Amino acid sequence: MHFDLQPNLKGELIELRPLTPEDWDDLFSVASDPLIWEQHPESDRYKEEVFRAFFRGALESGGALVAIDAKTQQIIGSTRFHGYDPEKSEIEIGWTFLARKYWGGRYNREMKQLMLAHAFKFVENVVFFVGENNIRSQKATEKIGAVESGTAKRVYGNRPASLNIRYVIKKPLPKAES
């Protein structure tokens, strides 16, 4: 079965669809808030030239999705599926950011629930990598049920590699018939 890295997913609060080049203006207007990136290893991603490289990478990745507010139909952020490994039965979810007015759990939780439900049709494990100083994202990742499972060095943009905490969510076992 082929893993669809760019599905259209709909929830009550949020919709996810494949990122397109036409999304640049709307997505950059969200990403240009410096406070979104203050704890991220690439903390200057709010700058146009830095975000342009991120956006180009997102398009080239083949796994980038835009997050849309289901009520207003406005783009409120983006996320990505990456690194599908059928042998390990694993996919990464990452590169996620949301406009600050959508912080606090409900939108991120629903986005990740939609993505996890999709991923678990294809894999047993979903991994997340979060910068060691990105406490806000670490807490958000733990809130959705991810468990810490070591560290890894990751490169962001043209920065030197930085330490990230690796998290995993395992596919839930099917509920037993009672």
Question: Which residue is listed with tokens 């709909």?
Answer: 10
| Angle 117-119-121 from CA coordinates, rounded to 5° | 80
Q: What is residue 41's predicted lDDT score, i.e. its pLDDT? A: 80
The whole-number average pLDDT for the span 70-89 is 96
Give the per-residue SS3 of the chain. CCCCCCCCEECCCEEEEECCHHHHHHHHHHHCCHHHHCCCCCCCCCCHHHHHHHHHHHHHHCCEEEEEECCCCCEEEEEEEEEEECCCCEEEEEEEEECHHHCCCHHHHHHHHHHHHHHCCCCCEEEEEEECCCHHHHHHHHHCCCEEEEEEEECCCCCCCEEEEEEEEECCCCCCCC
Q: What is residue 77's predicted lDDT score, i.e. its pLDDT? A: 98
Query: What does the mean pLDDT of the chain come to?
Result: 93
Model's pTM, two decimal places? 0.92
The domain spans of the chain are 9-170
Q: Higher model confidence: residue 1 or residue 137?
A: 137
Which residues contact residue 29 at a Cβ distance below 8 angstroms, ignoring those fewer than 6 apart? none
Q: What is residue 177's predicted lDDT score, i.e. its pLDDT? A: 64
Domain range 9-170, CATH class: alpha beta
pLDDT classification of 174: cutoffs 50, 70, 90: confident
